[in-house]
A and B are shown apart, each in its own frame.
Chain A
Amino acid sequence: GQSLEQPSEVTAVEGAIVQINCTYQTSGFYGLSWYQQHDGGAPTFLSYNALDGLEETGRFSSFLSRSDSYGYLLLQELQMKDSASYFCAVRGNAGNMLTFGGGTRLMVKP
């Protein structure tokens, strides 16, 4: 089976940097993705790592260590609009199924 663990809630101030961690246990592993979801909205793809290392997309970066079954999402220069839930998700086999973590609710304060 698959299980992913991430903190339930993180609070940070505008302009700061925040890191959201995700650890996973899967029977197979093809990649770790991150999705953002605003209240009442749909999940929106942010980033994907198949190999170890850092992927950078503007203010957002994602890191993966396959040997540690661990990844994180780094958000820099936080803005109020970044307040949302962030989900890590794993594709554990060659198929299509994404298994999502429980989500981390990020609150950005002025």
Chain B
Amino acid sequence: EPEVTQTPSHQVTQMGQEVILRCVPISNHLYFYWYRQILGQKVEFLVSFYNNEISEKSEIFDDQFSVERPDGSNFTLKIRSTKLEDSAMYFCASRDVASTDTQYFGPGTRLTVL
């Protein structure tokens, strides 16, 4: 069964450093998402991406964040200058055109900012 993959599984970085989290969505999906989940808390929407542009973003997704689809398979989330409070699990998700409300989540990248 096709699945969303994410790399790395765990990223440790120093405060102020840039990080890039990578995702490979399911191949025939056209809608892509990033969510984050601070330990023990709920999943929070960050951004959605369709047709090579951001379609929606939350208040969390400020100027420090950016997304990109650099080629036909990867979808990345960049955090320009990490803060301690960016420490969280970051999930990528994707969906196909027909399944409006079924999003498939990747295994997540645990980001630890020291």
Query: A: which residues have CB within 8 A of B?
Result: 30-31, 33, 35, 37, 41-45, 48, 50, 87, 89, 91, 95-103
Does B105 have its Cβ within 8 Å of any Cβ on chain A?
yes
User: Once the chains are docked, how many angstroms separate the CA of A37 from the CA of B35?
Assistant: 14
B75 contacts A by Cβ under 8 Å:
no
Docked Cα-Cα span, A103 to B37, in Å, equals 12
Could you list 24 A-B pairs, sorted by A, with CB under 8 Å? A31-B100, A31-B101, A33-B101, A35-B43, A37-B43, A42-B106, A42-B107, A43-B43, A43-B91, A45-B103, A45-B104, A48-B102, A89-B43, A95-B55, A95-B56, A96-B55, A96-B56, A97-B45, A97-B48, A97-B56, A97-B58, A98-B35, A98-B103, A102-B42
- Determine the main DSSP class of A at the interface with B: strand
CB distance from B99 to the nearest CB of A (A): 9
B58/A96 in contact, CB under 8 A: no
A87 touches B102 (CB 8 A): no
Which residues of chain B are near A33, meaning CB under 8 Å? Answer: 101-102
7 closest Cβ pairs, A-B complex = A96-B48, A42-B105, A100-B43, A95-B56, A48-B101, A102-B42, A100-B42
Q: Which of B44, B101, B104 contacts A100 (CB 8 A)?
A: B44
